[in-house]
Amino acid sequence: MDKRPAKPAKTPKTGAKPERKSVMLELDTHRILDKSAKKLKLSNGEYVSAAIAYFAQTGLDPTKDQPVSLASVSMKVDEVERNVRKQNHEIGTRLVQIIRTWEKNSYTFMQQQQASTNNYLELIESNLLQHQVAVETNLLAPMVEQLFKGNIEAYMARVFASYLYVKSTDLPAGSDKKQLERSNSERDEQLAIQLQAFLKTNSVPLPKPTARRAVTPAPTKPVAAKPVPPASPAPAGAAKS
């Protein structure tokens, strides 16, 4: 098989020329060298020197570790990264759903508790108002009426005393009943007049029920941040070797 020496690597012209040695390559290998060096826009010598330095520094065995295995490793890494991103996205979506469901249940429970509390307070208020009306109707009103009656009775007693005094002097016989009826009528009239005057100056305000407060609405749901989509896999040719 024909063999020819590889092209020496270009070196900057600085004084003495570096020493060079020729290496015999197989024809097929030399063709691969020409193609690869041309692709990277390097001379054959520069390409061979860089390849030798690479394997020497990394400690890789060029007879065992092929570039195809490095590309497959890169593809596997990209695949694992995609799976991790997908799993993180699914976990984030589930967590957001759980949080939203919990918030919805919590707000519903709080609204129910608030509604039941409002109903309970309204019943208490209604009972208090009914009790107040009953006390005013059955207790306070009769007490005020008896107070005015006592006042009027005292007034009428003084009137009777004056009439008796008059009767003991020169009133005609049989006028006692008419005078008593007249006194009772005057007493009732005075009682009605004083009660009306008392109610005008001391009116009792009617109780008014408190307006029911509206149930606090649930706050707006927080907007969940959009998950980062998984990155597209890098092509095998762009993988670092």
Paired residues of 25 in beta bridges: 4
Are 142 and 172 members of one domain? yes
Same domain, yes or no: 98 and 168: yes
The rounded distance, in Å, linking the Cα atoms of 179 and 181 is: 6
194 close to 148: Cβ distance less than 8 angstroms: yes
Report which of residues 5 and 135 the model is more confident about. 135
Whole-prediction pTM? 0.38
Q: Same domain for 55 and 90?
A: no
Which range marks the domain in which residue 115 is found? 76-201
Report if residue 113 sits inside a domain.
yes
Chain-centroid distance, C-alpha 127 = 37
Does residue 152 share a domain with residue 53?
Answer: no
- Of 194, 200, 207, 206, nearest in space to 144 by CA: 194
- Given pLDDT bands bounded at 50, 70 and 90, which one contains residue 240? very low
174 is a domain residue: yes
Sign of CA dihedral 174, 175, 176, 182: positive
pLDDT band of residue 154 (cuts 50, 70, 90) is: confident
Tokens of 104: 């919805």
Confidence of residue 218 (pLDDT cuts 50, 70, 90): low
Give per-residue pLDDT as tens, 21-40: 777 888 888 888 888 888 88
Query: Poorest-confidence range of 19-23, 113-117, 154-158, 163-167?
Result: 163-167
CB–CB of 228/93 below 8 Å?
Answer: no
Looking at residue 18, its pLDDT comes to: 62
Query: 59 with 83, same domain?
Result: no
What is the Cα–Cα distance from 183 to 185, expressed in whole angstroms?
5
Two structure tokens written together for 33: 């060298």
How many CA atoms lie within 13 Å of 92's alpha carbon, on the beta-carbon side?
A: 12
User: pLDDT, tens digit, for every residue of 38-69?
Assistant: 888 888 888 888 888 888 887 777 777 555 55
> Quick one: 109 and 131 in the same domain?
yes
pLDDT number for residue 130: 86
Instruction: Looking at the structure, tell me whether residues 30 and 92 fall in a common domain.
Output: no
